[in-house]
């Protein structure tokens, strides 16, 4: 559809687009930027985009580590300094003729204003910025994680009218939390988190306790996870849920992803796809499941996919339809500068 280029010497740190596709937030190491995206069709029926920059107050235009839209009206920003800024985005009144944003890229039809500033207090606040923000599909919950080891590192917040309040903090885990994600189970909301060693947990948000799947595995769960994951060379970077199968969730890294089915028990070993991949772990004999029986039927509960490598993005775009964006290593090598010194052999 189009490309938005940012002028300057700073690389982008994070970005997020609203679910309706009309708002885009991005931050570099200097400032936070917010854009309205309009979609237009030309005479030939081709779709193009027209961005309009929304002016932010100085207190909001601060560098952020991660940003996330809870809804079209609410943007949650984790700043590099520690506080969480909640920004309210409302449609501009038609009678408002004053605008400092008119110019080359158009005049936005939205106004941004500060709604709330949340200041977390713990020993890790001054050591690690918030690395991950996850929001629920109904826009009533969001969770933050700093990627550290200790209690109060992962926190859950819920919406109370126009304000967000701290709901509870998760306990300390055996490894740093790499990614978190919400999913809807019936009438309740659950939080899925994956640690850096691929150990995964499911928590009931409203009940403030472990989900039934994690209770069956035990806490801590590292020793009960499949051996293929415990000895993996990767670490999780994302967690996604298939809208058509909410009981299943997917934990992905740069070089692989693993699919879990919370309606079934974990096997001792995972199934690998493709089965004879060069990066797959070789086994000398057929492995058995936890009860000692043939694990061919239960291995599908934990499936590791090695088909993709160098993944930059992975998420579901509809029921049973997933989008994967890869970065080929040859494209990365082409960006390297010429060698300053190269030894010549045979001369």
Alpha-carbon distances, residue 329 vs 138, 310, 334 (angstroms): 38, 7, 9
| Residue 177 and residue 195 in contact, taking contact as beta carbons nearer than 8 Å | yes
Confidence grade of residue 144 (pLDDT, cut at 50, 70, 90) = very high
**Under 8 Å between Cβ of 54 and 61:** no
pLDDT at position 163, please? Answer: 92
pLDDT digit string, tens, across residues 310-328: 899 999 988 999 999 998 8
Tokens of 166: 């701290």
How much is the pLDDT for 342? 75
Please tell me the predicted confidence (pLDDT) of residue 17.
Answer: 93
Among candidates 9, 315, 33, 310, which has minimal Cα distance to 179?
315
Q: What is the mean pLDDT of the chain?
A: 84
- pLDDT tens digits, 85-114: 999 999 877 655 444 444 444 567 889 999
pLDDT for the residue 291: 43
Q: If DSSP codes are grouped into helix, strand and coil, which group holds residue 247?
A: coil
pLDDT over 60 at 49, yes or no:
yes
* pLDDT confidence tier of residue 193, bands split at 50, 70 and 90: very high
User: Cβ(335)–Cβ(303) under 8 Å?
Assistant: no
Confidence band for 125, pLDDT divided at 50, 70 and 90 = low
Q: How far apart are CA 37 and CA 17, in angstroms?
A: 10
Give the pLDDT of residue 129: 84
Size (the chain), residues: 347
Q: What is the pTM of this model?
A: 0.81
Quick check: 140 pLDDT over 90?
A: yes
Among the listed residues 51, 59, 66, the one whose alpha carbon sits nearest the alpha carbon of residue 116? 59
Task: Say which residue, 238 or 107, is predicted with more confidence.
Answer: 238
Give the pLDDT confidence score for residue 344 in this predicted structure.
77
Flag whether pLDDT at 198 surpasses 80: yes
From residue 28, give the alpha-carbon distance in Å to each of 15, 42, 132, 149, 278. 9, 32, 16, 27, 38
Given a cut of 80, whether residue 187 has pLDDT beyond it is: no
| Greater pLDDT, 157 or 293 | 157
pLDDT surpassing 90 at residue 65: yes
- With 80 as the cut, is the pLDDT of residue 290 above it? no
Those residues with Cβ within 8 angstroms of residue 284's Cβ, 6 or more apart along the chain or in another chain: none
């Amino acid at each position: 559809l189009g490309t938005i280029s940012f002028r300057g010497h700073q690389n982008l740190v994070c970005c997020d687009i609203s679910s309706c596709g009309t708002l885009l937030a991005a931050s570099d190491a200097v400032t936070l930027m917010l854009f309205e995206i309009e979609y237009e069709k030309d005479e030939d029926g081709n779709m193009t985009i027209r961005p309009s920059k929304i002016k932010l107050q100085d207190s909001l235009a601060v560098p952020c580590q991660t940003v996330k839209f809870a809804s079209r009206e609410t943007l949650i920003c984790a700043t590099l300094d520690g506080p969480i800024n909640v920004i309210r985005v409302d449609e501009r009144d038609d009678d408002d003729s004053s605008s400092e944003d008119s110019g080359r890229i158009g005049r936005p039809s939205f106004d941004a204003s500060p709604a709330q500033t949340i200041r977390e207090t713990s020993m890790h606040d001054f050591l690690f910025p918030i690395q991950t923000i996850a929001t629920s599909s109904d826009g009533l919950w969001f969770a933050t994680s700093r990627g550290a080891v200790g209690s109060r590192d992962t926190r859950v917040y819920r919406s109370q009218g126009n304000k967000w309040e701290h709901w509870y903090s998760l306990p300390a885990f055996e490894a740093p939390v790499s990614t978190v994600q919400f999913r809807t189970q019936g009438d309740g909301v659950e939080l899925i988190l994956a640690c850096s060693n691929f150990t995964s947990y499911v928590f009931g948000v409203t009940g403030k306790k472990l989900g039934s799947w994690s209770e069956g595995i035990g806490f801590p769960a590292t020793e009960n996870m499949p051996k293929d994951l415990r000895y993996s060379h990767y670490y999780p970077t994302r967690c996604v849920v298939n809208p058509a199968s909410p009981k299943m969730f997917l934990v992905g890294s740069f070089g692989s992803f693993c699919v879990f089915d919370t309606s079934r028990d974990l096997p001792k070993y995972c199934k690998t796809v493709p089965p004879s991949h060069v990066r797959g772990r070789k086994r000398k004999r057929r492995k058995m499941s936890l009860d000692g029986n043939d694990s061919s039927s239960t291995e599908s509960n934990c499936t590791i996919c090695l088909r993709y490598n160098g993944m930059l993005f992975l998420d579901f775009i509809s029921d049973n339809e997933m989008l994967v964006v890869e970065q080929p290593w040859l494209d990365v090598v082409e960006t390297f500068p010429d060698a300053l010194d190269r030894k010549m052999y045979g001369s």
